[in-house]
Structure formats: C-alpha cells, structure tokens
Amino acid sequence: MRDARTGQLVDVHKGVGGLLRVCVHTACAEPSARLGNLRALLTADVLARVAELDGRQVVYRHAEPCLPEREAKALARAAGMMGIHPAAVPGPDASYGSAYGGRTDVHVLAPGGRAPRHEAGLVVEVGPTRTSGGLSQEDLTESTADLLPTRLALLTRPHAAPLDLTPDELARATRQLTRWREHVATWATFPSRPMHHETARHLQTALHDDLDTPTALEALRRLEKEPGIPDGARFELFVYADRVLALELPREVGAPRHGTAEPSHDAGEE
C-alpha cells in the first residue's frame, strides 16, 4: 500500500499469521458524502480480504467521532448491502486501546477524514467521490436495491483516484455483473480444472500492488474472452477472485435458467 504521509509503498501483507489492525476514518458530513465514506469502508474491506488470503488475521473498526447517529446507521446499512464486513469494535473513538492489543497498522481515510496526528501507522487516502447525472447518493444507498453493482463500479477505479459515479457507469457495472454471474453458472457445469496460472498471477500481483482492483478486473475480462482455456479453469479463477471482490459471482450457480450464457469456445473441453 502507498503511504499518503511519505508517498512510499509499504508491504502490509508480510508477517503471515500476524494480526493486522485497520481503522477507517469516515468524514463528519451529511448524506452527500456517504459514497466517499462507503468507498473508504470498501477499501479497508478489500485490504482485509487480500491480507486474509495471505494468511493474516485482520481486525478493523470505523472511527466516526462526529458522524450523526442516523447517518452512521444509514452508512452501516449500506455497507452491509455492499458486502462490506462490519467493524469488529464499533464506537466513536479513533483509539484502539486494549480491544486491539496494539497500535493501528493502517489508517484508511475517507474523503475529508483525518487520521490522529500523532498516531503511527500507514495512511491510505481515498480519492474524492461524488455522483452526477441525476444519480443521488441518498437514493443510491438508502434504497433496497442490490448495491453490489455499486461495489463493482467503485472497484473499477484506483481507490486514491477521484471518482464521479454516473448512471451510465452504474448501468455498465450492472450489465457486467449480470454477464459474469451467467458465465460462472455456465462454467460450473463443466469439469473442474486448475485455475489459469497466468491470470491468477496477474490477479495476485495487482491486488498486492496498492490494491490495484482495476487491473485485477481487467485480468478477469481477458480470461472471460481468452480462447482455448477450459471453462472449468475459468470457473475456479472467478470464484477465487470473488473471495476478494465479493461480488457474489457464483450467485446463479444451480439456479433455474431462463436463458443460457454462451459457453466459451474452448478447445480444452470435450
């Protein structure tokens, strides 16, 4: 991860079996900043999932020192709908204290959030985040609609880059998620094969390089269309990637099918 304080890359994935303590600092703001706060929670969630794949234990919390109670509850509800794990220790204080048994390792800052000035730890900044084109943050996060397309849309940009979520981008993410779920359901009907090694390597390299989720997603898009790869291998890789992306890609496996996604032209299957 890149430390916003120094600009240097810091390896937070070493120390297999060790405990990684992560704190998300949300902004003290109204619902108009909710998407930025969600993006910070999502960044911490992806970081935790990658670290857990590496064999580390992760515990994290949300520091919400001046977030109104109603907004804090709305944020937590939207985070749950987006597949973000809840904080292990809730509360307004940014200090971990005895509950975590040590100092914070990583501070993730929402746009407008601040880390304790004199507290050590890596600082990860999330870029400015807004909506446009008639897309309302309140409507987006307070509805009962599926928020996993929103998760995918947020993952298509580097976490530190500015993001302007538009209706077109959200619709594009919805279509891609639907297509991938249909493909995974189809690939599940083929014999299992080992994950495609090159794609798995690209995926792991991207996720360990400052949580480069856009590159990880592009690796999946290439695998989706690459000829000559057994569909069982595609299935295993997409399911493995979903342990970090958490997009519920296997959701349609075994479900009644009204239409069938086109299987890959696969020279490796008989």
Domains of the chain with bracketed CATH: 19-165 (3.40.50.620), 172-245 (1.20.120)
Residue pointed to by tokens 């994935």? 13
**pLDDT value at residue 154:** 96
Identify the pLDDT of residue 269.
39
What pLDDT, on the 0 to 100 scale, is given for residue 114? 80
Element (DSSP H or E) covering residue 122? strand 122-125
Low-confidence ranges of the chain (pLDDT < 70): 5, 8, 13-17, 29-32, 65, 89-101, 139, 141-144, 257-270
Helix (H) / strand (E) element for 31: namely: none
Identify the pLDDT of residue 202: 95
Burial class (CB in 10 A: 0-12, 13-18, 19+), 91: middle
d(C-alpha 209, C-alpha 197), whole Å: 18
Nearest Cα to Cα of residue 46 among 267, 185, 247? 247
pLDDT at 93: 52
Q: Could you say which DSSP state residue 183 is in?
A: H
Give the residue from 266, 262, 256 showing the smallest Cα distance to 228: 266
Question: What is the predicted pLDDT for the residue at 156?
Answer: 96
pTM: 0.87
Alpha helices in the chain (DSSP H): 34-53, 69-81, 137-142, 148-155, 167-187, 197-208, 213-225, 231-245
Residue 139's pLDDT is 66
Instruction: Tell me what pLDDT residue 90 has.
Output: 56
pLDDT value at position 16?
52
